[in-house]
Amino acid sequence: MQGRIKITLIGAGSIVFTRNLLGDIFSYPELADCEIALHDIDEHRLRLAEMVAQRLAGTLGVSPTITASTDRRRALADARFVISTIQVGGYKPATVTDFEIPKKFGLEQTIGDTLGIGGIMRGLRTIPVQLAMLKDMEDVCAPGAIHLNYVNPMAMITWALNQASTRVPTVGLCHSVQHTAHELAHDLGIPAEEIDYRCAGINHMSFYTRFEHKGVDLYPRLRQLYADGKAPAWNQVRYEMLHQLGHFPTESSEHFAEYVPWFIKKGREDLLAKFNIPLDEYPGRCQIFEHAWPYIERELLAPGTQDAKALTAQLEAANIHVMPRNITEAAQLLEGLNSVTRSVEYGGQIIHSMVSGMPRVVYGNVLNHQLIDNLPQGCAVEVPCLVDANGVQPTRVGKLPIQLAALMRTNVNVQELVVAAITEQQREHVYHAAMLDPHTAAVLDLSQIRAMVDELLLAHRAFLPEYLHA
């Protein structure tokens, strides 16, 4: 590649991602003088993101060109790499609506961003916006530009965008594979860098088909942890899945609980207690960061004046219903404004490998073209990908254990219907997606599902294309 590399962040106001991704990018000598274009529709958050970028560059002693614009096409012009971290409709009103309306019908959620009724609605809001962005990319980005998507619902978005455009590939990126490997290494008392694994499936429902340490299978030790009652209290759902299905899933227990019909049931508080499932976890997490934002903004304006311990104390005193690690993450964000450590995110690694030619293996979400035999061809799958100067190259996995593929197909059905609702402009497929969603169908009857969908479509009217209006 010749000349300065331009990298555009769409949704740069998502400060956690912006901090992590730019910290990674700036840490590579080959990218230290790149051009960073920040874009967000929220001008205030955009200015904060610009301050974060400048702070990171100063901390690392590098000199990238940093620009910020609310004009998306201007930000995308001549970009070689585009990273998306948007949330259409934001926490308020959209995500609050995704939780509160289903709750009226007796349908509870934990995260609501991947599958379930919350994932369906988020997909309907997000895919049209990203399709328009993809058209802008085709018009103004550099030849050979690639879109690296961090936005959920990952599988639906990856499927819809790659189906719509052959000129600009979208690779969906998540951190659940590498995060879970680190968590399991901690459970076993083994350095994470010594773990060797292979993983495949669909986003947020991939499974480790191999998990080893120096050639020794670690699954017997993980099963023994479960049998001895030593699995972490916050991770009971996934250890139960290991027990039932023989393999460990990649996404967190609070996520996984709402992709299946077995854990969150009306009137079954015993299940919530047994498996330690935190209902409304994502809204609580958003409330935590709402409390943290004043600290973060003051620290950006006056470096060294804010205390992470004071923030932690305030968050604990607020008594917001969240998992303890959510409070820790907010404090770490504040501390991370003054130090840079490379994250486990794949975005910076992919850009560095494509620019430098250094080969790496990452886990990416791509379309299933002869990659996994017993998942539908053309759906979005998460597989190992080789990355080098030739780009992101998915590797063939073959056939997954039959019970894992069968479970994944229950989620793929919902994803396919949401994509069809958008690409075919068929509102009726929204109802079909909700009817076939495993968690929704386990709690509500058909008339309740239709009434709930009607109310949600009406509430989200401002964020939806006209053909989906109730």
| Ordered per-residue pLDDT tens for the chain, 470 residues | 457 899 999 999 999 899 999 999 999 999 999 999 999 999 999 999 999 999 999 999 999 999 999 999 999 999 999 999 999 999 999 999 999 999 999 999 999 999 999 999 999 999 999 999 999 999 999 999 999 999 999 999 999 999 998 899 999 999 999 999 999 999 999 999 999 999 999 999 999 999 999 999 999 999 999 999 999 999 999 999 999 999 999 999 999 999 999 999 999 999 999 999 999 999 998 998 888 888 888 988 888 888 888 888 888 888 777 777 788 888 888 887 878 889 999 999 999 999 999 999 999 999 999 999 999 999 999 999 999 999 999 999 999 999 999 999 999 999 999 999 999 999 999 999 999 999 999 999 999 999 999 999 999 999 999 999 97
Is 300 among the domain residues?
A: yes
Cα(163)–Cα(127) distance, integer angstroms: 12
Is 307 among the domain residues?
A: yes
Cα(315)–Cα(68) distance, integer angstroms: 31
* pTM metric for this prediction: 0.96
Q: Which domain holds residue 307?
A: 281-336
Q: Give the 3-state DSSP-derived string for 55-69, with helices as H, strands as E and coil as C.
A: HHHHHHCCCCEEEEE
Residue 316: HSE in the Cβ half-sphere, 13 Å Cα cutoff: 10
Yes or no: say if 457 and 468 are a contact pair by the CB < 8 Å rule.
yes
Is 154 among the domain residues?
A: no
Cα(334)–Cα(19) distance, integer angstroms: 10
Is 315 among the domain residues?
A: yes
Is 449 among the domain residues?
A: no
Cα(444)–Cα(361) distance, integer angstroms: 42
Give me the number of domains the chain comprises. 1
Is 156 among the domain residues?
A: no
C-alpha separations of 323 from 112, 279, 319, 391 in Å: 16, 10, 11, 38
Tokens of 352: 């560095």
The number of residues in the chain equals 470
Yes or no: say if 121 and 115 are a contact pair by the CB < 8 Å rule.
no
C-alpha separations of 298 from 311, 324, 334 in Å: 12, 24, 10
Which one is catalytic: 44, 175, 182, 213?
A: 175
Note the pLDDT of residue 1.
45
Could you confirm whether 255 is annotated as catalytic? no
Is 316 among the domain residues?
A: yes
Yes or no: say if 101 and 72 are a contact pair by the CB < 8 Å rule.
no
Helical segments of 91-153, H only: 96-104, 116-140
Note the pLDDT of residue 176.
96
First-to-final CA distance of the chain: 49
Is 406 among the domain residues?
A: no
Cα(151)–Cα(113) distance, integer angstroms: 9
What type of residue is 205?
M
Residues 88-124 as b/e (b if ≥16 CB within 10 A, e otherwise) read bbbbeebbebbbebbeebebbbbbbbbbbbbbbbbbb
Yes or no: say if 72 and 39 are a contact pair by the CB < 8 Å rule.
yes
Burial of 208 (0-12, 13-18, 19+ CB in 10 A): buried
